[in-house]
Structure 1
Amino acid sequence: MGKPGGLMDAKDPLEEGPIRLITHPELSPNNVDNPFHTAGTTFFGQFMDHDFTFDLSSRLGVPVDPEESPNSRTPTLELDSVYGGGPIADPTLYDPTDNDKFLVESGGLFEDLPRDPDGIAIISDPRNDENLMVSGIQAAFLLCHNRMVDRLRSQGVPADQVFARARRLVTWHYQWIVVHEFLPQVIGFGITQDVLRHGRRFYRPASGQHFMPVEFQGAAYRFGHSMVRPSYRANLAGDQGEPFFGFVFDPAGQGQGDPVDLRGGARAPRRFIGWQTFFDFRDGELKPNKRIDTKISTVLFRLPIAAIPTGDPPTALPQRNLLRHLTWSLPSGQAIAGAMGIPQLEPDALTELRQFGVGLERSTPLWYYVLKEAEVLGDGISLAGVGARLIGEVILGLLELDPQSYLAADPAWRPTLPGRPNGDFGFADLLTFAGVDPGSRGQ
């Protein structure tokens, strides 16, 4: 199912190059654009994932009790992937001349993550340098925090309170974006509001005992892999005055100091993100995501080993996801639908799985099932059925069960940073406050 050239491969004609795959979507008839998602939705979701899950111990395809695969991240949306243990526990993350602020360096034209002499990013979670886009989001949060520190100081906040208050405000704005922008995009406004107003029906751990369900971590939340485009325009004028286009990963980039692709782990003047491609700044430069369906961009079938946290094969991301289903002995999509009382996909909706001759159309790996639900029931625009309910209840549950989150501590809270004229606040507004928006950069 998940092998290169197999059932899930969108078979993008990579020989056409990264630019034509953007400007001529008809070249990839199996990999359809999603006009209701921005290209940045994928990478904001990846950044979120790194905030609440990290499994380094389980071996793919080798069954293991999930309780023996500890999650190295706290199951909360508290930005520990950014803040680490704070300036006392993790001083290398912070500016030695001002411990309330993060250390941020220059990549030549604009910001870059701090790096050691070998180019390794000095950040709390190394995965946030896997590609240029998530690296840029990490840098934006560092700058957002630093500007929040300046803002609080200008308001006369006592010096011994500045860091904690800045962290809380940045975290709450991030959580607001998750609830009011990200979730309505990926699961729909209706189910987001249903969970908020009527409560969680399935994810109901005891107080103080919230956890990360393996069905979420090992399968359902991996829906974002289907939204990845083969290539992106990283910025409009960073490549000696010209746009910088690249595949997400390209074998030709291996070993290059300034890779031709958009992998992370390297510094060069052109290696920054022009966010108008990824989020809506109302300038006509926005590009869409790919739809949530069972076709995955071909570039994700040949990951560089450096992009795999455990450093082991296979390098095809869909194969890795399907092997994780075996690793944690996850129930099938149909079994979870039955347990939830959600109508199951009929075998006739999964006829492509009959070729394998093992009944997968009746007992489907959860990750594939969630993608197929979105494809059949949501037209690839958003998750549906099991996937939507699972994602919505877990993410909102993590927030509601965290006494430090805005939903638990102050549900009437509203963003205090400048937003849109209609009062909305989204990730584009956070990027603007951080000073990495197109207007601030002049490109």
Structure 2
Amino acid sequence: MFPNLPPFAEASDTVRAALLEVGQQGGILDAQDDLAAGPKNLIVDPSVNGNSTSTNPYGTNPDNPTMTAGSTFVGQFTDHDITFDQTSQLGVPQNPLISSNTRTPALDLDSVFGGGPGMRPDLYVDNADGSVGPKLKIGNGGVHEDVPRVPNGDGTYTALLGDPRNDENLIIAGLQCAHILFYNRVLDELENVDLRRFPSARGADPANLYVQFRIAREITLWHYQWLLVNEHLPQIASQQMVNDVLGRGNRFYLPPAGDAFMSIEFGAAAYRFGHSMVRPSYRANFTSGTGDRTNPTTDPFFALVFDKNEPHFSDPVSYDRDDLLGGYRAPRRYVGWPTFFDLGDGEVKNNKKVDTTISSVLFTLPMPAIAPHTQNSPTVLPQRNLLRQLTRGLPSGQAIARAMRAPRRSATDRAEIASVYSPFAASTPLWYYILAEAEAVTDSLNLGPVGGRIVTETLIGLLRADPTSYVSVYPRFQPFLGTDLQLGSNLNPNITGNRSYTRAHFLYYAGVVQPGTCR
């Protein structure tokens, strides 16, 4: 987006050491959550859950009242759809004009569809006549849906996914399942859908299996894309920013139509803001593998996102981890979605604020959550994010703010990072700058003008550059699947974004939520 701006710092040993100190466990970014208090108390106990107290009005790691806990994982799922760097070494400069991205730079769910039955037949159901698809495979962990897995012969399983990272944690795997189930149901009900507005259906033979794949995929994609523009982006970047980019066009991310590229400012910095929204623990579901219940308080499964003390066993069938690390098939490893998205039943929880405080569980990543080519690099997520600023040669936050003519933050907004390494006060790593900007401008409720514009222009720009997206083909498209969901009367009025059609409606159509039933 800003190819003429210089890197924020030279890739020297001094700068690398300073970045590692900024991002270290126990350092200025660490929320220092009391993980010993246990996953449930980290949510419900005011003395340890990070929210404001009489002696600390802001809190040590406060909840964000405008977003639900699921917003974080929608961001991760979207990121996995468009970015995947499998080669760059952290902290080692790489030519920013040479892409290391192995995902298609399009919001096309290649992380789910894998390019289609012809490219990834292993993702699709085998038919009796020897053909594959158009339905996607779905697994079962014993009680509810699971990503499809194949045994390795030693007690372990490999997930069959368009992107292996979508089994990194239980919640992202649940979103993968939901998109598979949504698409499969579209296939089941295709004959009942008015297809006149969908280009894949024009002049096509609806009896052809590949045509069915293309049509059902397009319908699924348009619902997914619409939610990004109308629910996700307004939550994370503000409705005002979304309206500006939709109404006045992109100013800085300007890919040619049909030839999109992935913005390094987005992939290596701005969209990594979501790490600040991660809670240390979640209520993963309500019933811990015992089956559906109407009482949501009976057997909830509370767990840390990652638990460094949890051993890595080689048999994920007989052993069920107590954290949310992915890769395990067990009866209680499924998602109770009312915690993550608002169904109006009073059960939804918030994510954390967008600020320079990162939940402590992210300072001790387990090896399975780390890209194999970077496992010799730090296992502390903030350090990894900061080193990426050097890898990609990113400009400073101040330089980009000047280029955007956005308000530049005062030195007090960066006092903490300057206390570690004084040059960072005037030339701040972009990822840190974006978090500090959110604190200063939006009270940490969403991204500020620099971070918000990078993210909004990139995602909307990708849709504009894609001639098959709903934005390009039929901008007035309105989602229609799952609209019969009857939300409860206890909707959280503080949640931002479009409320007429939400992620809850999408999940309802996928069959993974049912009002009045907790699972």
Whole-angstrom CA distance in 2 between matches of 1:427 and 1:312: 37
Q: What whole-Å deviation, never above 9, does each CA across 1:14-58 have from its counterpart, x for those lacking one? A: 010100000024412310000110000000100000000000110
Which AA in structure 1 matches 2:188?
D
Which AA in structure 1 matches 2:481?
L
Matched, 1:201 2:256: no
- Secondary structure of the residue aligned to 2:282 is strand
- Contact between 2:257 and 2:467, CA under 8 Å: does it hold in 1? no
Residue 26 (structure 2) aligns with = 5
Residue of structure 1 aligned with 2:445, choices 381, 404, 424: 381
- Secondary structure of the residue aligned to 2:300 is strand
- Contact between 2:256 and 2:465, CA under 8 Å: does it hold in 1? no
Whole-angstrom CA distance in 1 between matches of 2:359 and 2:269: 18
Which AA in structure 2 matches 1:392?
T
Alignment of 1:230-309 (within 5 A): 230-240=280-290, 242-256=299-313, 257-309=319-371
Q: What whole-Å deviation, never above 9, does each CA across 1:170-199 have from its counterpart, x for those lacking one? A: 000000000000000000011101110111
**Please, what TM-score do these two structures have when normalized by structure 1?**
0.97
- Contact between 2:287 and 2:518, CA under 8 Å: does it hold in 1? no
Residue of structure 2 aligned with 1:146, choices 184, 188, 199: 184
Q: State the 1:356 CA deviation.
A: 2.1
- Secondary structure of the residue aligned to 2:275 is helix
After alignment, is 62-71 or 385-394 more displaced? 62-71
Residue of structure 1 aligned with 2:161, choices 110, 115, 123: 123
Q: State the 1:354 CA deviation.
A: 2.5
Q: What whole-Å deviation, never above 9, does each CA across 1:148-207 have from its counterpart, x for those lacking one? A: 000104569822132111000000000000000000000001110111011111112333
Q: What whole-Å deviation, never above 9, does each CA across 1:221-244 have from its counterpart, x for those lacking one? A: 100000000000000012546111
Q: Could you say which structure has the larger radius of gyration?
A: 2
Q: What whole-Å deviation, never above 9, does each CA across 1:349-391 have from its counterpart, x for those lacking one? A: 2111232243211111000000011111010100011001111
**Please, what TM-score do these two structures have when normalized by structure 2?**
0.83
Alignment of 1:32-111 (within 5 A): 32-97=62-127, 99-111=133-145
Whole-angstrom CA distance in 1 between matches of 2:421 and 2:350: 37
Matched, 1:162 2:212: yes
Tell me the number of residue pairs that the alignment of Structure 1 and Structure 2 aligns: 443
Instruction: Rate the CA distance shift 1:49–1:440 in 2: closer, same or farther, 3 A.
Output: farther
Whole-angstrom CA distance in 2 between matches of 1:364 and 1:442: 46
Q: State the 1:69 CA deviation.
A: 4.1
Whole-angstrom CA distance in 1 between matches of 2:216 and 2:81: 18
Instruction: Rate the CA distance shift 1:265–1:369 in 2: closer, same or farther, 3 A.
Output: same
Q: Which runs of 5+ in 1 are unaligned?
A: none
Q: What whole-Å deviation, never above 9, does each CA across 1:321-366 have from its counterpart, x for those lacking one? A: 0000011111100011011111111112211123224321111100
Matched, 1:439 2:515: yes
Give the helix-richer structure, 1 or 2.
1
Instruction: Rate the CA distance shift 1:204–1:255 in 2: closer, same or farther, 3 A.
Output: same
Question: What value does the CA root-mean-square deviation take over the aligned residues?
Answer: 1.7
Alignment of 1:182-197 (within 5 A): 182-197=232-247
Residue 53 (structure 2) aligns with = none
Which AA in structure 2 matches 1:74?
T
Q: Which runs of 5+ in 2 are unaligned?
A: 1-21, 51-58, 195-204, 291-297, 314-318, 487-497
- Contact between 1:336 and 1:386, CA under 8 Å: does it hold in 2? yes
Whole-angstrom CA distance in 1 between matches of 2:418 and 2:390: 19
Whole-angstrom CA distance in 1 between matches of 2:146 and 2:443: 38
Whole-angstrom CA distance in 1 between matches of 2:88 and 2:405: 31
Which AA in structure 2 matches 1:11?
Q
Residue 337 (structure 1) aligns with = 401
